[in-house]
Structure 1
Amino acid sequence: MPATPQPAGAVPARAVPAPAATPEDDRWHHLIDAVRESGRYATRSEAESVTRAVLAALGGHVIGDERVDLARALPEEAARVIASQIPVTRHLTAAEFVASLADRTEGATPATARWDVSSVLCVLPGLVGDALVTRVLAQLPPGYALLFGRAELSAV
Structure 2
Amino acid sequence: MTYEQMLEAVRYEGAYSGTERAAETVERVLAALGRRLTGAERADLAARLPLQAALAFTAQVPSYEKLTGWGFVKDIAARSGTSPATARWDTGAVLSVVARLAGPDLLARILRSLPAGYALLFGQIDLNAGRTGA
- Deviation track 1:84-110 (CA, whole Å, cap 9, x = no partner) reads 11110212111111011111113x111
Greater Rg, structure 1 or structure 2? 1
Give the letter aligned to residue 72 of structure 1: A
Q: Is 1:112 aligned to 2:72, yes or no?
A: no
Following TM superposition, by how much is the alpha carbon of 1:82 offset from its aligned partner in structure 2, in angstroms? 1.2
Name which of structure 1's ranges 122-131 and 136-145 shifts more when overlaid on structure 2: 122-131
Q: TM-score, normalised by structure 1?
A: 0.80
Counting matched residue pairs gives 130
Q: Runs of 4+ in structure 1 displaced over 4 angstroms?
A: none
Aligned pairs for 1:41-120 (under 5 A) are 41-106=16-81, 108-120=82-94
Give the letter aligned to residue 150 of structure 1: Q
Following TM superposition, by how much is the alpha carbon of 1:125 offset from its aligned partner in structure 2, in angstroms? 2.1
Following TM superposition, by how much is the alpha carbon of 1:83 offset from its aligned partner in structure 2, in angstroms? 1.0
Match of 2:121 in 1: 147
Aligned with 2:6 (options 31, 41, 54): 31
Give the letter aligned to residue 86 of structure 1: V
Identity over aligned pairs, percent: 42
Q: Is 1:130 aligned to 2:104, yes or no?
A: yes
Kindly indicate whether structure 1 or structure 2 has the higher relative contact order, using CA contacts under 8 Å at least 6 residues apart. 2
Following TM superposition, by how much is the alpha carbon of 1:78 offset from its aligned partner in structure 2, in angstroms? 0.9
Following TM superposition, by how much is the alpha carbon of 1:133 offset from its aligned partner in structure 2, in angstroms? 1.0
Match of 1:9 in 2: none
Aligned pairs for 1:5-20 (under 5 A) are none
Unmatched 5+ stretches in structure 1: 1-25
Following TM superposition, by how much is the alpha carbon of 1:150 offset from its aligned partner in structure 2, in angstroms? 0.6
Q: Aligned-residue CA RMSD in angstroms?
A: 1.2
Q: TM-score, normalised by structure 2?
A: 0.92
Unmatched 5+ stretches in structure 2: none
SS, match of residue 129 in structure 1: helix
Residues in 2 aligned to 1:49 and 1:125: alpha-carbon distance in whole angstroms? 19
SS, match of residue 122 in structure 1: helix
